[in-house]
Amino acid sequence: MQKSILIIDDERDMLQLLKRSLEPDINCRIQTAQSGKEGLQVLAREPVDLVLADIKMPAMDGLELLELIKRDYPDLTVVMMTAFGGVETAVEAMRCGAYDFITKPFDHETLLVRLEKALERSSLIRENYRLQRECKDQEPFQKLVGNSEIMRRLYETIQMVAKTDLTVLITGESGTGKELVARAVHDLSRRGHNSFVAVNCPTLPENILESELFGYKKGAFTHASRDKIGLFQEAHRGSIFLDEIGDITPTIQTKLLRVLQEKEIKPLGDTKSITVDVRIIASTNQDLEAKIKSGEFREDVYYRLNVLPIRLPALREHREDIPLIANHLLEKHCLLLDKPLKTLAPELLDLFVNKTWEGNVRELENVIRQGILFSSTNEINPDDVNLDNRQNRPYPIESFGNDLHYKVAKEQTLKSFNHSFIGRLLEATGGNVTRAARQCGLERQALQQIMRRYQINAEDYRT
């Protein structure tokens, strides 16, 4: 769909000049208004992707107009125009929600670059809303996000496992979302309306973990002044999630075996066993078979736990889901941190997709929190986060030399990446831009803008 820009300026000549010069170069539809009031009327009639408004106008100035736009269209991208003497006012406009400002008189090429970047921001916000809708479709899976083949297979496995009442062992690296999967299994099961009790096994010493899991009778040990119900009893007719089961001691393993075999527990200091109706879901990021060989984990406990195994993929195994996951986390933490909805710069998303993510989704989540807190604008850029990509650079930084300015090096990297990435797409599609855009998840116009910026010609790839 063709992008549209609304230009608001009280000078008719300026409107005509901008319309004539921008429409062919940006390949978008230009609408004009000679006052703030007229501009608001245009916005009320139809949506636009970008507003370019002058600050100094009679009746309603640019700041007043900006306030009304942000009140009624909070996510609309607004760029302000000002004369050189009005820079302080323009900075104030950015504090009030403007995305950028441009000083008059314009350099045409600079104006094009700034407006294209603003349009990219609008595209990202629109994509973010689309991703939000997709995330809502995944609600039965408790905020597990991803549309890749490997994630779709995981959803199918969860649904099949949830229909049974058998013990589940979830394996996967740290930060892959094992507790989210456990909650999804519980919520989709017949026990979903009953308790889900989560226990982080490594955080509790053996004696405390034992009393927490199985409970105790009054007088069982010093300071046991009353009976205590254990977590297995609290989870009666529900599910108990034993997180990082590989860290429990042999003593706890022995007691756990009785629960797995007999569905019974014996509180500390009690002579009687108590029957419990509870589903056990366990998780680990360790190799339990290796721990069995070293004598650290009981083989009989392992096979009692590993009735229905679920393996979670590392984030690097489904990189195509990273933009979807990143935008989901961005929306979540903007809300939790009471910040306005922000967007991720395209170059930052590129870094996200190329990074190894040893800490998986949890590491990505931490980086996005940093970006929300430290970014000074509504767009999070690579400079706003502490992202060590030295092991993940697609291009060697040493090739730039020692004296190259940061912005120049950054532009060279982006140029090299886009020529390589888009070149491969165009080769695969025989120079068909529409198919190439579809394959990489961009709109056709957005891909064309990138190609123009980096002088990539589709004709070179057509046979």
Query: What is the per-residue pLDDT across 170-223, written as a single tens digit (0 to 9) for each?
Result: 999 999 999 999 999 999 999 988 999 999 998 888 888 988 999 988 888 877
Q: Which amino acid is at 190?
A: R
Structural fold of domain 4-123: Rossmann fold (3.40.50)
Euclidean distance between CA atoms 159 and 165, whole angstroms: 12
When mean pLDDT is compared across 166-180, 245-259, 318-332, 412-426, the lowest value belongs to 412-426
CATH of 316-384, one of 1.10.8.60, 3.30.930.10, 3.40.710.10, 3.40.50.2300: 1.10.8.60
Instruction: State the pLDDT at residue 142.
Output: 52
CB 350 within 8 A of CB 388: no
- Are both 4-123 and 156-313 of the same fold? yes
User: What's the CA gap between 347 and 331, in Å, rounded?
Assistant: 19
Return the minimum-mean-pLDDT range out of 81-90, 243-252, 328-337: 81-90
Highest-confidence range of 55-64, 139-148, 238-247, 263-272, by mean pLDDT?
A: 238-247
Q: Looking at the whole model, is its pTM more than 0.85?
A: no
Confidence of residue 1 (pLDDT cuts 50, 70, 90): low
Domain 397-461 CATH assignment equals 1.10.357: no
Which CATH architecture group holds 156-313? Answer: 3-Layer(aba) Sandwich (3.40)
* Interval 267-286: pLDDT, tens: 888 888 899 999 999 999 99
Helix 178-187 with 149-162: angle, nearest 10 deg: 40
- Domain-by-domain residue ranges, the chain? 4-123, 156-313, 316-384, 397-461
Band the pLDDT of 41: cuts 50, 70, 90: very high
The rounded percent of the chain whose pLDDT value lies above 70 is 90
- pLDDT greater than 90 at residue 316: yes
CA 235 and chain centroid, separation: 32
